[in-house]
Structure 1
Amino acid sequence: MRPRQTNYSSWLRVRLVALGVFFLVVFLALVARAVDLQLFERQRLRDIAERESIRQVDLSPRRGIIFDRNHEELAVSIDTDSIYANPLGIADPARHARLLAPVLGQPAGELAKRLGAERAFVWLARRVSPEVAEKTRQLGLDEIYILREPKRIYPYSDLACHVLGFSGLDARGLEGLERSQDQILRGQAKSLTSVRDALGRTIHLTPEALLNPPEGNHLILTLDKQIQYATERYLAEAVTKHRAKAGQAIVMSPQTGEILAMASTPAFNPNAFDKYAKDAYRNRAITDLYEPGSTFKAFVAAAALASHRVSLSQTFDCEHGQWRIGGRIIHDTHPYGMLRLAEIVKVSSNIGAAKVAQAIGAEGMYAMLRNFGFGQPTGVDLPGEARGVLRPARTWRPVEMANIAFGQGVSVTAIQMVQAFAAVANGGVMMRPHVIQAVLDKHHQVVRETRPQMVRRVMSQDEARELTRMLMSVTEDGGTGTLARVGPFAVAGKTGTAQKVNPGGGYSKTDYMSSFIGFAPAEDPKAVVMVLLDTPRGQYYGGVVAGPAFSRIARVALSEMGVFEMAAQGQPNAPQAKGPAQFAQSPPPARPASLAQARQALAQGATPDLGGLSLRQVLRLAADAHCPVTAQGWGRVVRQSPTPGAKLSPGGLSVQLAPTHGGA
């Protein structure tokens, strides 16, 4: 019996040892795995957990408002709906895509690919209409979310489009002031962080990010919306009537350098900029070079007055329309004999201008043209300005100097021409052109204000007065610019009809740049206006094709500035628009509607009272209520349909606005 019991005890010990070794091995394996997870796999596992449970959505910042000089909104940001998804939580991407495709208007295959990505966040549609957002909500799909994002809106479509430019989906400025002033306009970016709990519910950890992120700073421009609208309208009519390729127009205050209007055609709608060719974005008034033609004769006359080498009584033989110089023949449109300087300007004699330049000399001519700013940028606060081309005087041969005297062989921009003419209108003092009047912070307090900046004196006051008298004769009987008159005021100006350069060299016999530039009232200038048409067909003389548009634009500008009213009352000075400091304390309209009551009415399906509200306020109310809105005019609401209190129609709201001078 004894040996058998001993064997049993030995076998038991072996089994216990084996079991102990087994548990030890398992324990060591668990410890090793724990060490591996805690020390070596920790970051990878944390990333996986965060990817599946934590989401971070970058929200676009809210850009500041761009106002015109009378504080009407030219560019605003309103809240709209954007749709995104968490693909990691979607079990059946194909089903989601099939249901979403007709709502979002996107191919189901493309949606399925995005919904099946190994990512915790993908955009499905940005800044959609209220109808699309509501249909998406009604689908009730898991892991499909809607959040509010600011969207840039240009309420008046293509008004001032080349000056304003536009911003993209990420709220970054891409063209125009939106680009050059992006750091000022761009608001503070925010992120929305959310987690998903064990039951799959989404919890926002930073809900304040959804609540009206702070706007960037605001801009007040020198543009006047009424003058801008008239400038664009009459320029477009002239381009259409004369079948021109394109056109440019500028209105500027000569005393301050403030640009009241700047237009180029063809235009584009910055709300749908991606539907236009990139060439349409170009602000031709500051980027495009052209040979100015006979408008340059004004500066030949200025050089003659400043040089004292030409007297007002001196006559020049205009050779009855043909003059040979340097192996070339210079022609006049009409044959003239002996003409004085003022008569050369009035009838726009090429031969007369060339002979005056000859009397002044190349160095004197070059010095005066540089003094007037040609061949150098004006410094206007807009992106993309060209320098122009003015070669040094030492390179001028006699025939080249003759050509420059009537605007060939030199290239300028429209803004350079306007600045130079404005210096004459301002008694010989040149001002720097600018389009930004002030920068405001989010509380509408002035951060920075643009003061009128004198560049230099380009001629004496007496010389400027004498040159003005010569330019006035251009619009008098017998001059080339009679169609540019703005009765009852005298207009000082100059016509230009310049042959375009052929791509292969030489000048075209059929293509012209036709222009008129001038200022009014001539005795007390308030506005300098330039109109330029590129390649008009049929009639092409500047006085004929650009002069009438100048007259119509100038008449509106003087009317908006109060010049007609002041003249009727016998007062010398027109009233000035509000400055930025006044804007900060601008009173509201006499009877503004209550925003709280308007929101309450919309929530109940009734039409709110919108009287006195700005377009920006109406757009925000409509966006919050997912209600479509159409607007006509600008300013503040004066009429609406349906009437207040009526049942809100499926077609949404229709409002008519009219200009006021209340605060925004």
Structure 2
Amino acid sequence: MNPTPTSKKRSLLVGLLCVLLLTAVIFRLFWIQTIKASELRQRAEKSWQVNRVIEPVRGSILDRSGEVQLAGSVDKYVIAADLNRLENPQKAARQLSPLLNIPEKQLLKDLTRKDVRQVELRKKGDYKVSREVTDKIMKLDLKGIYPIKTPGRQYNEGKLAAHVLGFVNMAGKAVGGVEQQYDKILRGQRGEISFKKDGQGMQAPNSAEEYRPPKDGRDLVLTLDANIQYHVEKVLDEVSARYDSEGATAIVADPDSGEILAMASRPTFNPAQYSATYEAGKNNINRAIRTQYEPGSTFKIVTVAAAIEEGVFDADAKFPSGSIRVGGRVLRDWNEQGWGEITYAKGVYLSSNVAFVRLAQELGADVLTRYIDRFGFGRITESHGRQTGIDLPLEENGVFYNHAPLHPTELATAAFGQGIAVTPIQQVMAVSAIANGGTLYRPYVVKEIRDPRNGKTLKQKKPEEIRKEVVSEETARQVRKLLRGVVTKGTGSKADVAGYRVAGKTGTAQKPKEDGSGYATGKYVASFIGFAPADDPEVVVYVALDEPEGSTHGGTVAAPAAGEIIAKTLREMEVPKSEQKKSD
């Protein structure tokens, strides 16, 4: 039977299609083996190549002795589940819930997911667990549950020095304190290892391996003394609770170097449990360097020092206390009626506003402004002051008048610490210049950078002089004598310590309203700043309470706390007690 024309056409069509398919295959092979060969080989090699990052060990943070580890790196673990191997999700959720501190319902939801093969069991905040917790989980022998090792941070002393330390969050980001300020030094540098893998994902035999080791972070040795810091925080907790204050801060400094021996703020948090205790905008603020408020009478130290240096202060001269009219405004002493006609020395002891207004008028605006600047606050005719430069993040710089010349009332109120805003650390460094004989230092909290492998000191911080002879040694001595009188004969009596000659100044500053339209009724910052021993100071101590309840005077609220801190600090430093009587 002869083929029909239709069958012939069909055969030709099939043959043509076969030829076209064969041609396409040949062309495709040619394309792959020639034109695309290089690109495809590169893609294949990438799939064979394994590049793994090796994380460095973050440096430790130690107290000034080098013996107390405040923060250090440890191995932590993330608990994960292979859902294909997990046999009993309900049982696993029930047993893991108390160990991971994750609700059983949330765990069950994660363990029964259908869209993934494996899942990490996380909660909001700190989801990494310790070796001890991991061991307990592994002893449950839950099939499909396994740990993933990951770097972690451990804060051995809980909330101690929280605002100075800061913390490292789950994403490995440093937040606040020296953790943030010195992050590059603490963090180190990542390493890397690369090799070719086989079909099972293992390193291919005889394949070249490239290895770049990590560089571990350096250790930091702080100026803080862990024992002094503990005592300071204990006292600050007690006084804050006693007066139910909105906030509080305390600083202990070495006046001869600028080293900060202790620094604490309330409210606070625990860096070891930051996810449960840290609240941005509430307890994360280091008040010692970030709060700006009218200093009140503690600022009178600057005015009296300027007056002595310029020769306009006569301790025995008398003036009528109580009130004084300046620029159409009547300014009064803190007790409203004053103490009659008294000497200027007694005016210092009793913290007479009128005495300091008169001294400022004798000095004049230009001279007082210059001395305020010399003590490190900046020029009050500008909008903002000058930072101390302490090695902590987010330091504020004070708020000033932002115009010149000053109005007579502005000059008068600035003389007794009203109308301007400064920070606690600015005041501590200014008073340190009086304590040490006239030198203004830059404060700092990191003393050394060490090699973690051998403990060798790589860099040591040295005291940095900002300005020599802020005032003369003789002026500083006279101011110290007057401030001793404030404690023995005036408003600071509750700061005195048996066996140690404490000198200082109280402060009671009314807080301005938030809208700037005057002062808020009944809202004060009570403070005390002082040093000891008065004739040869070893420490400067500052204590301030924000809006204390029940009492508002710095001499009643802050002075006793400062005295207790001074006593414990000097004992810790083994400073011998004086044979002088309390009244000296």
Identify the TM-score tier after normalising by the shorter chain: 0.7 to 0.9
Distance 1:216 1:96, change over 3 A: farther
How far off is 1:129 after superposition?
3.6
Distance 1:364 1:201, change over 3 A: closer
Distance 1:172 1:44, change over 3 A: farther
Deviations 1:577-601 (A, max 9, x none): xxxxxxxxxxxxxxxxxxxxxxxxx
Distance 2:115 2:181 in 1: 37
How far off is 1:241 after superposition?
0.5
How far off is 1:148 after superposition?
2.2
Partner secondary structure for residue 576 of structure 2: helix
How far off is 1:418 after superposition?
0.3
Q: Aligned residue for 2:279?
A: 277
Distance 1:85 1:302, change over 3 A: same
CA contact 1:326–1:398 (8 Å) conserved in 2 = yes
Distance 2:320 2:24 in 1: 111
Deviations 1:563-618 (A, max 9, x none): 037x69xxxxxxxxxxxxxxxxxxxxxxxxxxxxxxxxxxxxxxxxxxxxxxxxxx
Q: Aligned residue for 1:518?
A: 530
Unpaired stretches in structure 2, ≥5 consecutive residues: 4-10, 378-384, 580-584
Question: How do 1:479-490 residues align onto structure 2 when only pairs under 5 Å count?
Answer: 479-490=490-501
Q: Aligned residue for 1:189?
A: 190
Question: How do 1:627-646 residues align onto structure 2 when only pairs under 5 Å count?
Answer: none
Q: Does 1:77 align with 2:79?
A: no
Distance 1:454 1:115 in 2: 63
Q: Aligned residue for 2:474?
A: 462
Structure 2 length-normalised TM: 0.83
Distance 1:50 1:85 in 2: 29
Distance 1:58 1:132, change over 3 A: same
How far off is 1:179 after superposition?
0.8
Q: Does 1:528 align with 2:531?
A: no
Q: Does 1:127 align with 2:137?
A: no
Question: How do 1:36-55 residues align onto structure 2 when only pairs under 5 Å count?
Answer: 37=32
Q: Aligned residue for 1:116?
A: 116
Q: Does 1:414 align with 2:424?
A: yes
Distance 1:370 1:83 in 2: 57
Distance 1:240 1:209 in 2: 59
Distance 1:96 1:176, change over 3 A: farther
Question: How do 1:141-180 residues align onto structure 2 when only pairs under 5 Å count?
Answer: 141=144, 146-180=147-181
Q: Aligned residue for 1:252?
A: 253
How far off is 1:390 after superposition?
3.0
Q: Aligned residue for 1:28?
A: 23
Q: Aligned residue for 2:343?
A: 340
Deviations 1:340-360 (A, max 9, x none): 332211010011111111111
Distance 1:107 1:36, change over 3 A: farther
Deviations 1:132-173 (A, max 9, x none): 4663683343xx763322210101110000000011123231
Partner secondary structure for residue 532 of structure 1: strand
Question: Which stretch of the first structure deviates more once superposed, 465-474 or 323-332?
Answer: 323-332
Picking from 356, 359, 363, the partner of 2:362 is 359
Question: Which amino acid is 2:58 matched to?
Answer: R
Partner secondary structure for residue 389 of structure 2: coil
Q: Aligned residue for 1:440?
A: 450
Distance 1:323 1:461, change over 3 A: same
Q: Pairwise CA RMSD of aligned residues?
A: 3.7
Question: Which amino acid is 1:252 matched to?
Answer: A
Distance 2:274 2:39 in 1: 45
Distance 1:322 1:212, change over 3 A: same
Question: Which amino acid is 1:155 matched to?
Answer: N
Distance 2:36 2:120 in 1: 34
Partner secondary structure for residue 538 of structure 1: coil
Q: Aligned residue for 2:262?
A: 261
Question: How do 1:215-254 residues align onto structure 2 when only pairs under 5 Å count?
Answer: 215-254=216-255
Distance 1:399 1:74 in 2: 49
Aligned pair count reads: 542
Q: Aligned residue for 2:554?
A: 542
How far off is 1:339 after superposition?
2.8
Q: Aligned residue for 1:450?
A: 461
Q: Aligned residue for 2:382?
A: none
Partner secondary structure for residue 421 of structure 2: coil
Question: Which stretch of the first structure deviates more once superposed, 387-396 or 462-471?
Answer: 387-396
CA contact 1:256–1:452 (8 Å) conserved in 2 = yes
CA contact 2:527–2:559 (8 Å) conserved in 1 = yes
How far off is 1:525 after superposition?
0.5
Distance 1:534 1:147 in 2: 46
